[in-house]
Structure 1
């Protein structure tokens, strides 16, 4: 072995959520661990998540909260390292947190607390972290104790590293400005693993027709809705933007939408809008429709809807609307059909759907079945969580699983 070659039992590519947790877990077993980060600092995605407060997990985590070609794959890891395990770690470090809507847990102060906690655990366990590392190549070695050799540049200087276990925690294609890339897929393919089709997930929708203009005019307006697509429904807030529709409801349903699909938006969830309108026609026939609708809905939205759905009758009292007209408007309120032209793509997507095919990975250890010593964890795998702390929990759980065996 040339003298310039440096050896570690475990080398982890990526110092994000899954990589850091895997790093200190492996180091706690007495393994020598080196975590390599391409960016100038670690945990960038953690720092920007949850508006800088990091929605680090959820009180209720189940396999149903995740999408994958194999919906059972995530179960073993989620059971092996639960939300309660991570919450205990957060509490051990004295990090103040709070529960918000839908059982989501956020830092009270800053996401920096989570990154600091992970780095403290790495330091205490003896796992080294290096940033500014640009990977050039990986090759498999015949030696069972030194299975992989990496060529890279650290701070611009060439380095050769060897390890017995190589963990790929490189993330995925979402938010390239925070270090997202496809390098993990390239590594998977190099060693004979297949990669499923990928697309942007948890991402806002865009429109090209008159709905785009409507969204521009309503930019900043938000309301609670129920949105459905391909048999899945979410009840969350929707936000109009100058490009289209965003907010938790739209991000959630984007995981189930494909180009050409229509989304159905219920603007009055839990309310039979047609019956409600007909009842008010009987009781308050002299009221205008927009006055009635402005009680549960934002006035600016009602103003746009009357141009769309009852043009020319803006000033007419309810009594002048036929029952059929009110039933039609009620149906539109409960099931507004919109066809997005596209999503905003990886630039703003919180996650990448698809990834390294889990058929080639052990669900217990995260090790490639046909490639000893090669592990894949976190977002690079074909496991994607709903909005609400689930993707971080997958990072913690999969990182821990690999850290137990790498």
Structure 2
């Protein structure tokens, strides 16, 4: 027989689940936090090279992808990067800002996990790890969850198990299975913030594996200026991870290899200043030498610039300013930092993250169809959505 032993059961002890549990627990709610993993906050621990890029001070709703681009506005507006930073500082955790508003721990990501666990402890949250869920049911206003044959019941259930990105850490599509069980729709999930793969003639760039350079990557109307990294499988680096979230199969990716220059004008000026110079040597002043030589060779430009027509230089410059790649895929969930898509926001309240047709059911964090840019945005969504749900459990 199921007996109500808690006010809320939260599935998933990641960033969103820990924040939600701590928030509800400190409000006096009896909370049970469950996870099949043997440790809480596994993604937190590996993020930011082990230093956790825990938020971004530039967080705004337009830096999140969703079928409803306005959905995240409410939660993000009520729990801001400044709010989370205040919590971090209250624990004496030293931090620093990197480029583009990214905030990291000076020490270890473990500090963030320990902070959240301490917040849970202050709220007397019961945490059960390494235990698979064998049953979930709902009736008479109660959610019933069976763990290791032991029944638990509560009037509120929170789905915070994330998406299937990084399966080697135990990530699965469990959140979507639970959501569908309760009649919630799921926006088709796909890997996000993920390296892109190349084939055909573009595999010639494999010889440059390990070379990185600053670019502007674009796909449709989306544009990001950061580093791109050439790999043995294709393209990676921050600029590529960012643009991957906007890319769809069959679409080209354009890279501007000379983002600080008007490439045709630069080549014309070089021709007049140094007519005996070759294209590769001119490009090597702005790009890694190996990349400069490979691009010049791919353009078929040999000999001295002075022997070339301005029309030919303009054509080469235009290609350098918008080099077209046609990816044949991605490196999949194994290398994806996040999952795009997820539990449809049309089913959820912007204010509480509660399911509109199933009272007491909530979905938060990466499980939901809200995905941020690279650089701490997805953690801020985890904190904000976790707080929004925790405030009403």
Task: Please tell me the TM-score bracket, short chain as reference.
Answer: over 0.9
Alignment match, 1:368: 355
Give the superposition deviation at 1:171: 0.3
Give the superposition deviation at 1:6: 6.6
Give the superposition deviation at 1:14: 0.3
For 1:110 and 1:14, how far apart are their aligned partners in 2?
A: 22
| Structure 1: runs of 5 or more not aligned | none
CA contact (8 A) 2:25 2:122 kept: no
Asked if 1:133 is matched to 2:131, the reply is yes
Q: How does 1:40-59 map onto structure 2 within 5 Å?
A: 40-59=38-57
Give the superposition deviation at 1:262: 0.3
Asked if 1:33 is matched to 2:31, the reply is yes
Partner residue of 2:183 out of 183, 192, 198: 192
Deviations 1:98-136 (A, max 9, x none): 000001001111111100110111111111211112111
CA contact (8 A) 1:6 1:160 kept: no
Alignment match, 1:335: 322
Partner residue of 1:11 out of 5, 9, 20: 9
SS in 1 for 2:333: helix
Give the superposition deviation at 1:210: 2.6
Deviations 1:235-273 (A, max 9, x none): 011011111110000000001100000011000013111
For 1:283 and 1:203, how far apart are their aligned partners in 2?
A: 42
Asked if 1:405 is matched to 2:379, the reply is no
| Structure 2: runs of 5 or more not aligned | none
Alignment match, 2:90: 92
Asked if 1:308 is matched to 2:308, the reply is no
Single out whichever of 159-168 and 245-254 deviates more from structure 2. Answer: 159-168
For 1:6 and 1:111, how far apart are their aligned partners in 2?
A: 35
Asked if 1:163 is matched to 2:154, the reply is yes
For 1:378 and 1:133, how far apart are their aligned partners in 2?
A: 21
Q: Point out 4+ residue stretches in structure 1 off by more than 6 angstroms.
A: none
SS in 2 for 1:235: strand
Asked if 1:82 is matched to 2:77, the reply is no
**How high is the TM-score relative to the length of structure 1?**
0.95
Deviations 1:323-365 (A, max 9, x none): 1211111011101001001011111101111111111101111
Asked if 1:123 is matched to 2:121, the reply is yes
Asked if 1:255 is matched to 2:245, the reply is yes
RMSD: 1.1
Alignment match, 1:321: 308
Partner residue of 1:111 out of 109, 112, 119: 109
**How high is the TM-score relative to the length of structure 2?**
0.98
Asked if 1:237 is matched to 2:227, the reply is yes
For 2:13 and 2:391, how far apart are their aligned partners in 1?
A: 17
For 1:81 and 1:283, how far apart are their aligned partners in 2?
A: 56
For 1:319 and 1:29, how far apart are their aligned partners in 2?
A: 75
SS in 2 for 1:347: coil
